[in-house]
Amino acid sequence: YTTCGTPDYFAPELIASKGHTNAVDWWCLGILSFELMAGYPPFESATPMQIYSKVKKGINKATFPRKCKGKVESLIKGLCHANPAERLPMKKGDIQNIKTQPWFSDFVWEDMANFSMVAPYKPTVKSKKDIANFSAREEDMPPQINYKNTKTGWDKDFATCAT
């Protein structure tokens, strides 16, 4: 078997090279859900081998942050069951096992299906090139150098220098 992808998202059966079914996709949905809620993947480590070791220990050994406790934790654990056949949509009931999870109790599936769902937040965009809704990370910004105008005129032709 070949593997391709991000180690953080590898299901146990991929790591073990046992072959796999579409149950790996449900595993990935669980990992993605955790990462979206927590801001980092559940098995995060410095090297792929450390990640694989944690994956083999199972989702129950992962530390869920406080904001991921309760309903969403139950959903994620149901999607990331070590046994692929026990992952929520793989069991009898199929996708309904996800739709009936308490995490989705207020979610109107019909609105999503017929494209009538209202976005909870719609940013104001003035043009295709408007980037006002995005902010750069501080580490990506160039260093700021304070400029002191010496009034000698050596920089009068520089477009970026203001007096």
The residue among 5, 109, 15 whose CA lies nearest residue 56 is 15
Q: Whole-model pTM?
A: 0.75
pLDDT in tens, 89-132: 999 999 999 999 999 999 999 999 999 999 989 999 999 999 88
- Report residue 71 as tokens: 């309903």
Q: Where are the domains of the chain?
A: 7-116
Q: What is the mean pLDDT of each run of 10 residues along the chain (163 residues)?
A: 86 92 96 96 96 96 93 97 96 95 95 94 93 84 82 77 48
Q: Which CATH class is domain 7-116?
A: mainly alpha
Alpha helices in 18-163 (DSSP H): 23-38, 48-57, 71-79, 96-99, 109-113
